Amino acid sequence: MSDNQQPGKQYKTEWSFSFEKLGDQIGEFFRSVGSGEDVEVKTERFTDVVGDATSARVRLDLSAGESNIYMLQDSDKLIDAEITYIGEMRFAHDGTPEKVVSLSQVTSPGEWFRHALTWLSKRGEQNQLRWNVGLSPNIPIDLDIHGGVGECDFSLATLKPGKFTMNGGTGEIDVVLPASPELYSASINGGVGELDVKIPAGATVNLMVRAGTGEIDLDIGEGAAADITVHGGVGEVQVHLPADAAVRVEGKAGIGDISVPARLARLSGTDEFFGKSGVWQSVNYEAAERKITVRYNGGVGALVVR
């Protein structure tokens, strides 16, 4: 008995939780979301020219639907986007010599879920929700992408990168990073779904990946120089290397294994059931001019280097 309780006195614990109130709140939420039917689907084009700009910062806040980001050819435009959507869009563009562009959908939480349900119900139809965004390859662009709901294909090989940032949403994402031989930085925060990242041949990049939930596949092209750090989430991480690349792998597993090719010699580490760790390195790593370094901090799932 605590010092504050008195013998013979009854104590009553008040419980304020109300299932009735919770039910009303859930019902109100789903009524606000609706079924995704009887909404107007619109298609609109958003463009801006390069003009006198020598660089740009572009932010894309994707919504529900399939999303494709690609590089324009033979165009004076900085951005040329055709969006099929419901609700309202916000497009802002201004500035020289650095142009600042943002494209996003204006939604409340209830509307956002309604859009996602609409996309799911209209998949395969001609007017399904989608983002098709073309960007200029002619000036350096700091590109900031915030994912939505749906499959994404980002083909950025000819982008002149300043800095690349991507925050994943929900759905499978395929990303081809810039092939620039000049060093640039890229940061990818995973969402929910499979993430495939390709570093093209000849690229030079510092890449940070923070995994979410789903498998990650990193494919590194011939002659690429890459310093890669992966913070594991939930799911396996696979790294595909060129055959004769100069490689160093520094790994510490969480719940899962670490597997590397036989041609990488183990320099240190332990084989504990939880927290396997080690450093592996190819014989040509120290003398190589172009190197691939992979640092892995595990979550739930294995690291497989092939």
Report pLDDT for 248: 97
- Of 222, 188, 220, 226, the C-alpha closest to 205 is 226
Name beta bridge partners: 238. Answer: 217, 304
pLDDT at 22 over 50: no
Q: Tell me whether the omega of the peptide bond preceding residue 178 falls within 30 degrees of 0, making it cis.
A: no
Q: Is the pLDDT of residue 32 over 60?
A: no
User: Whole-prediction pTM value?
Assistant: 0.80
How buried is residue 199: exposed, middle or buried, by Cβ count under 10 Å (0-12/13-18/19+)?
buried
pLDDT of residue 10: 47
Task: For residue 17, list its beta bridge partners.
Answer: none
DSSP 8-state assignment for residue 97: S
Per-residue pLDDT band at 121 (split at 50, 70, 90): low
Average pLDDT, the chain: 84
Portion of the chain with pLDDT greater than 70, in percent: 79
**169 phi/psi in degrees, rounded to 5:** -110, -125
Q: Are 78 and 48 in contact (CB under 8 A)?
A: yes
Rounded to a whole number, what is the largest CA-CA distance in the chain? 88
Length of the chain: 306
Position with higher pLDDT, 247 vs 11? 247
Distance between CA atoms of 195 and 168, rounded to whole angstroms?
A: 9
- Return the residue matching tokens 């939780």: 17
Structure-derived torsion over alpha carbons of residues 224, 147, 196, 189, reported in degrees to the nearest 10:
60
**Contact present, 76 and 50 (Cβ < 8 Å):** yes
Q: Locate 229 and state its tokens.
A: 């750090």
6-40 residues labelled b (16+ CB within 10 A) or e (exposed): eeeeeeeeeeeeeeeeeeeeeeeeeeebeebeebe
Q: For 117-135, b where at least 16 C-beta lie within 10 A, e where not — what string?
A: bbbeebeeeeebbbbebbb
What is the structure's pLDDT at 112?
A: 53
How far apart, in whole angstroms, are the C-alpha atoms of residue 257 and residue 111?
A: 42
- What element of type H or E holds 55? strand 55-61
Interatomic CA distance for residues 214 and 65, integer angstroms: 19
> In the prediction, which pLDDT does 149 show?
84
Q: How confident is the model at residue 178 (pLDDT cuts 50, 70, 90)?
A: very high
Predicted confidence at residue 186, as pLDDT, reads 97
Average of per-residue pLDDT across 23-28: 48
Residue 201 has pLDDT above 80, yes or no: yes
**pLDDT confidence bin for 256, thresholds 50/70/90:** confident
